[in-house]
Structure 1
Amino acid sequence: MTRDDVAVLGAGMHPWGKWGHSFVRYGVHAARDALADAGVAWGAVQSVVGADTVRGGYPGHVAGATFARALGWQGARVTSVYAACASGAQAISTARAQILAGLAEVVLVVGADAAPKGFFAPAGGDRPDDPDWLRFRVLGATNPAYFGLYARRRMALYGDTPDDFARVKVKNSAAGAANPYARYRTPVGAPEVAASPVVADPLRLLDICATSDGAAALVLSSMDFARRHGSPDPVRIRAVSTATPHYPRTVLDLPDIATDSAAAVPAAATGFRAAIARDAYEEAGVGPEDLSLAEVYDLSTALELEWYEDLGLCGAGEGAKLLRDGVTALGGRLPVNTSGGLASFGEAVPAQAIAQVCELTWQLRGCAGERQVPDARVGVTANQGLFGHGSAVVAVR
């Protein structure tokens, strides 16, 4: 145990799907499940941190207060956090900081979304200061187009093939079939991926995650509270990285741009996504060799292979081989996305990074059922949100 550990006393989720209800309903469900799992009464919670959903109107912009009100005002401090796809991890980071600063002993973290069908359009209409609006309207680069460019880049640099991308979907669908919270619980074969419509060449429909309704919640506490509460050896969060890029290496690992402004900024030692993982490893005092499992943000099948390399599970261009060798599948040496990932859940933006930590919690407790990784001791999550929001969480047991 380190002085920077916080305990995960409870984890709860609302099943992913398209249910047609308010995000508040999903979040309250997940929160109550997490409180019940922790054995903590709602009145004992001293702080609520909500991950925001900008598509939920004003209640979504003040998610901490929205969930506190829905659960019943009881005086807890409230905080609302937005960081695009990294919102859930930023909410966890905020809760952890409050606990380590002594501002609260017990914090409830909640993220929930009721996502629209299809492409995520920028919220609020035309917004020329919004990177989503700019790439959608000026470049025509919707998310699937963006993912397709990444996939083509891997094919050009490393020789990856559409069959390699399909293997990611096959692997994750097998894990999702064993997860009661997953939206898609039917295993998928490579022929089904190949037969699905092309969305953004070379990616097909089954290579790209859906949009979903869903929610996840955690009850975090100080280690002292956990011991007093009768949990002497809980799952612990040891590190939370919330890294940003080094200019000009904002997304792709391109050579430095030869301009006066760029020359004044030291070049990054690693690319953005790799820096997200590196910062978490350094804070936690672990490395890729210590991991039992990882949960990564598989917005597309090709992007999962990028994460293998950025997490240091293998060298650049070796992600497809790691997959082909079965290393990242259930039963492999280092399973990735034992939950089934976004391939099985779909994306509920403010909930997903919290859901990743729920999966680590259940795995490290040894209660993940058919998905269980034997003797799991250390897990990492990773995702990347728009506008330079990177996040990774290291959990240990």
Structure 2
Amino acid sequence: MTGKAFLVGVGMTKFEKPESRDWQYWDMAREAGEAALADAGIPYGLVEQAPVGHCHQASTAAQRAVYELGLTGIPVYNVNNNCATGSTALMMARQFVASGLNDCVLALGFEKMKKGALGGGSGDGDFSTSPVARHYGVMAARHGFEMTPPTAQIFGNAAREHMERYGTTREQLAAVGEKNHRHSAANPYAQFQDVWTREEILASRTIHEPLTKLQCSPTSDGAAAAVVVSERFVRAHGLEERAVEIAGQAMATDTAESFASGSCVDVVGRPMSRAAARAAYEESGLGIEDVDVIELHDCFSVNELLTYEALGMCEEGASGKLVEEGATTYGGRWVVNPSGGLISKGHPLGATGIAQCAELTWHLRGEAGPRQVPRARVGLAHNIGLGGAAIVTVLRRA
């Protein structure tokens, strides 16, 4: 990368329960895209390319969505990288700009989902054909394979191992859910805005022991968008007050370490999250000690704890104590998932990673309203997908 890239416009729809609103994916994409362009104060005609993330729509759904913004003939890319799809589209946009190829790129992500738990990626129920068959094979060798939702099962087993190895408690896992549901009460974009006590979270229906319903992210409909531009574009259009620099960004995929231990803690992505974080820190020249606000991939409460460790916020095994002591909420060392995170804000796969960066942009500009993190200057987004991909993005107020 020879140049800098900046976020100058972000937008998103409210994330909603599937089938709760009469809209199509192109409607939500238009809403998010128009919001991002309006935030940047530029017309769609200046956009040169558009990487667009989605997982559950047809192959050229990106074109169908982007055409709602204009018919300018620009290249449109359909991006699918499981739950890391949105951040993958954003990373592509950043690469187009930072390489000098383009001055203005729109990253867009959307998802129109079905009710109920996500499947295991096999499509036909035969997990031997799934892209994550290796991951489930590691789980099955140690824990067997039960008839609970497969993604909850693999993360639930990671939670069991963490509890056995480090003494992490059910109460500490529930503290993640309690924190994130409480944060979402101030977020008008969140799918859920109810506040739950730790006791209520523990008493909610068990999905896969020890994870209860209020510790699991829901399926969601929604979209998010970001306008990514060069330093030259920022100056030419007087966008200095809007600009947030993408100071570092890295993707890592599974390595031998992910599978060698036979542990679900590694299979669900802690090693690749650690690698992506290390590379993003190196590129940005910043470390976790410089970060003020974090949006991370809490698809299940245990993954928030695993990510604390992968990002270097604490030693391995100490993440339960970190959340229990209040270090990751307002008044603590960091504010993690001020949006409510995936657990409470929602998780439309193609939009999630971009929505995380929209939330961070608002905080770094001082525009997050009642959930504003005071004096926030550096933000970090972490987005992960099994199969696998982990992307860490470090944002800095320009």
TM-score normalised over the length of structure 2: 0.89
Corresponding position: 1:86 with 2:84? yes
Larger mean CA deviation between 311-320 and 330-339 belongs to 330-339
Q: Verify: 1:207 aligned to 2:220, yes or no.
A: no
> Aligned pair in 2 of structure 1 residues 251, 232: CA closer, same or farther (>3 Å)?
farther
Comparing 356-365 with 383-392, greater Cα deviation is found at 383-392
Instruction: Kindly provide the amino acid, as one letter, of the partner of residue 247 in structure 2.
Output: R
Query: Cα distance, 1:124 vs. partner?
Result: 4.4
Deviation (angstroms), 1:3: 5.5
Task: Give, in angstroms, the shift of residue 286 of structure 1.
Answer: 0.9
Which of 68-77 and 319-328 deviates more? 68-77
Instruction: Give the 5 Å matches for 1:1-397.
Output: 4-18=3-17, 19-53=21-55, 55-60=56-61, 63=62, 65-121=63-119, 122=121, 124-125=123-124, 128-132=128-132, 135=136, 139-140=145-146, 142-233=150-241, 234-247=243-256, 249-250=257-258, 271-397=271-397
Is contact 1:331–1:373 with CA below 8 Å preserved after alignment?
no
Q: Take 2:12 and 2:71, find their aligned partners in 1: how far apart are those partners?
A: 22
Q: Which amino acid aligns with 2:355?
A: A
Aligned partners of 1:59, 1:307: CA distance in 2, in Å?
33
C-alpha change, 1:253 and 1:12, in structure 2 (3 Å) is farther
Letter in 1 for 2:112: A
Q: What secondary structure is seen at the aligned counterpart in 1 of 2:83?
A: coil
Contact 1:251-1:272 at 8 Å conserved across structures: no
SS of the residue corresponding to residue 112 of structure 1 reads strand
Contact between 1:253 and 1:271, CA under 8 Å: does it hold in 2?
no
Q: Match of 2:336, SS?
A: coil
Q: Give the Cα–Cα distance (whole angstroms) in 2 for the partners of residues 251 and 147 of structure 1.
A: 15
Asked if structure 2 preserves the Cα contact closer than 8 Å seen for 1:24 and 1:66, the reply is yes
Aligned AA for 2:299? L
Distance 1:42 1:336, change over 3 A: same
Q: CA deviation at 1:296?
A: 0.6
Give RMSD over aligned pairs.
Answer: 2.1
Shift of the alpha carbon at 1:386?
2.2
8 Å contact kept, 1:15–1:180:
yes
Aligned equivalents of 2:100, 2:335: Cα separation in 1: 36
- Distance in 2 between the 1:383 and 1:43 partners? 30
- Structure 2 unaligned regions, length at least 5: 264-269
The range that moved more, 213-222 or 102-111, is: 102-111
Between the aligned partners of 1:253 and 1:4, the Cα distance in structure 2 is 40
Question: Following TM superposition, by how much is the alpha carbon of 1:142 offset from its aligned partner in structure 2, in angstroms?
Answer: 0.4
C-alpha distance in 2 between matches for 1:166 and 1:338: 17
Q: Is the 8 A contact 1:126 1:133 kept in 2?
A: no
Query: Aligned-pair distance for 1:167?
Result: 0.8
Cα distance, 1:124–1:325 mapped onto 2, change above 3 Å = closer
Mapped to 2, the partners of 1:93 and 1:254 lie a distance apart of 31
Report the CA distance between 1:317 and its aligned residue.
0.9
* 8 Å Cα contact 2:360/2:379 also seen in 1: yes
The alpha-carbon deviation at position 337 of structure 1 amounts to: 0.6
CA deviation string 1:272-323 (max 9, x = no partner):
2211211111111111111111111001111111111110011111111111
**In the aligned structure 1, how far is the partner of 2:91 from the partner of 2:84?**
11
- Count of matched residue pairs: 377
Check the 8 A contact 1:111/1:351 in 2, yes or no: yes
After superposition, give the CA deviation of every residue in 1:351-375 in whole Å (9 maximum; x if it has no partner): 0011110011001001111111111
Structure 1 unmatched runs, 5+: 256-269
- CA displacement, residues 179-226 of structure 1 (integer Å, 9 cap, x when unaligned): 110010111111211221111011111111111111110011001101
In structure 2, distance between residues paired with 1:20 and 1:112: 15
CA distance in 2, matches of 1:187, 1:57: 36
Instruction: Give me the identity figure in percent.
Output: 37
Deviation of residue 132 (structure 1)?
4.5
8 Å contact kept, 1:174–1:187? yes
